[in-house]
Amino acid sequence: MNYRHAFHAGNFADVIKHIVLTRILTYLHQKQSAFRVIDTHAGAGLYDLTGDEASRGGEWRSGIARVMQARFTPQVADLVAPYLDIVRAFNPQRDLVAYPGSPLIARALLRPQDRLVACEVEPGARKQLLSSLYNDTQARVVDLDGWTALPAFVPPNERRGVVLIDPPFEDKDEFSKLAQRFATAFAKWPTGVYVMWYPAKDRRSTDELARRVAVSVGESDRGDGDCLRVEFSVAPQSAEAGLVSTGLLIVNPPWTLASELRATLAELEKPLGQGGAGRYRVETVRP
């Protein structure tokens, strides 16, 4: 799978991933101690929804555009508010013209004591990210491959934080690499929160990834020992379909996250579903 993000910015997978990220960071605000966000495959930071790439696919129209217009119950409206407020801040004229990627979403939720490390090696994307975070003393853009950065930047000095692993899945061995590199990083920092994104296209690959991650977590005697699996589908999978199912593995999730996501994803089934309601699952993975 070749996942050039400019074509897909603001799609349903971004919506799910970024809601999860904002819920985790909001939870970390409950303690005054500093935290670090490490984004291993950060991308360009900000995406022009009126540009050629985003316009060609138009996936944001069935993603963030629908969510911005959706009506939620008061409980879920409160849960998605931090995410939607950040998106609105990049679109002050109300029309959706830009979509913030994970590093800018994370940056918007940093307090003065918190820090962000964003890794990106693709020259064009890195240049855009540097421009977005220019002269920012709380954010550092690193010209380093995310797989190399993953074990290199843990544990952070802050001792609390989130590692977002969102690779492009351009190589056939990316699932295996994700499981292996996570295990290495987790052995060094078993108390961090890890969020791993994957395209849920092949059940055998995704089940094996979840199993391997859960085994790594279960073998640790220092971590909280939880691995949450979240998947959301907007349409049935078929050989002809593109990306219609997205997945996340969250290690050491906040204790509130599973219930928050069950409530939120249930109300996203209708606006994000294509040709009918979507479907989701939120479950704890055991070794």
Contacts of 164 (CB under 8 A, 6+ apart): 21, 37, 38, 39, 40, 102, 106, 195, 197
Count the Cβ atoms, other than its own, within 10 Å of residue 137: 7
Give rounded-to-5 percent helix, strand, coil for the chain: 45, 20, 40
Catalytic residue among 166, 171, 202, 207: 166
**Which pair of tokens denotes residue 205?**
């690959």
∠ CA 43-199-188 to the nearest 5 degrees?
A: 65
224 is catalytic: no
| CA nearest neighbour of 98 among 218, 173, 14 | 14
* Cα atoms in the 13 Å half-sphere on the side-chain side of 170: 7
Which residues are known catalytic residues? Answer: 166
